[in-house]
Amino acid sequence: MTKIRKAVIPAAGYGTRFLPITKVIPKELLPIGNKPAIQYVVEEAVEAGIEEIILVCNPHKIPIADFFRPDRYLNRFLEGKGKEKEIEDLKRIESLARITVVYQEEALGLGHSILCAEDAVEGEPFLVMLPDVLILPSHTGAKQLVEECQQKMAWGVLLEKVPKEKLSSYGIVKSVINPQGDFVIHGAVEKPTIEEAPSDLSLLGRYLLPAEIFKYINEQKKGAKGEIQLTDAINSVAQKTPALGILNSGKIFDVGTPEGLSEIYFHLKA
């Protein structure tokens, strides 16, 4: 399999669970100590060998891209004050990866937001990383997914077991275990009821996808929540070319909620 160089991070949502702060600060920039949440996702991507991050934004989300770009006025100020360490720290962040911004003009769902990155992906297999989910340490998550998929020449998704009462909050996969002990995924259902759920394995928010996914997203009708769902496109591809399911071995934090953001803060402080 070719090297996985690009990761798409959908970040076009309005962050309504964090209002009122998200009226002026994108939720991806909310702080965990002095670091914005999205920096953890980008660092995880870089650990997985990613060179280019494609941020799917709405026009209010430009500060996310600015965070990863040099600010010459700030640098001049820091130089004047002899603040070498701060300059070096900023340089490290700015050189993590190339940042490309694409826009999702209408909030039509996760599948649609990934479709907005189609031109930037340029036909290569690519990662999708949902920034509401942080996985620590940074060498688990995406890196584990990329390495195992490359070894087995497959596309794939990171999985997490969820209790029954939470099945309807996630995309749930239909899978079998092959003789080598791998999860082989033949389908997926977005936000199923307990009765509809094909397993207790959820899509965690890290996907290594073939570029043909775009064709399948394009063909999707509105699914769960009346939105174009990535899970529905994954379901279509998996029926033809099964995917590898990798059980997550990292610790997960749902930073899509204020509670999750506090939880990771206290975890890192401990």
Q: What are phi and psi of 213, to 5 degrees?
A: -55, -35
Residue placing its CB nearer to ligand G1P in the complex, 78 or 199: 199
Residue placing its CB nearer to ligand G1P in the complex, 78 or 142: 142
> Shortest distance, CB of residue 188 to ligand G1P, whole angstroms?
8
Using CB under 6 A as the criterion, which residues of the chain lie in contact with ligand G1P when the complex forms?
Answer: 110, 130, 132-133, 170-171, 190, 202-205, 231
> Shortest distance, CB of residue 252 to ligand G1P, whole angstroms?
9
> Shortest distance, CB of residue 26 to ligand G1P, whole angstroms?
16
Three-class SS of residue 248? coil
Calpha distance 112→114 (Å, rounded):
5
> Shortest distance, CB of residue 160 to ligand G1P, whole angstroms?
9
Name the closest residue to ligand G1P (Cβ).
171
Calpha distance 131→67 (Å, rounded):
15
Three-class SS of residue 118? helix
Residue placing its CB nearer to ligand G1P in the complex, 87 or 224: 224
**Nearest partner of 57 among 89, 96, 81, 28, judged by Cα:** 28
Residue placing its CB nearer to ligand G1P in the complex, 15 or 36: 15
> Shortest distance, CB of residue 41 to ligand G1P, whole angstroms?
13
Residue placing its CB nearer to ligand G1P in the complex, 29 or 201: 201
Is residue 252 within 8 A of residue 160, CB to CB? The reply is: yes
CA atoms within 13 A on the CB side of 176: 6
* Alpha helix stretches (DSSP H) within the chain: 37-47, 62-67, 72-80, 84-94, 110-115, 118-121, 141-151, 213-219, 230-240, 258-269
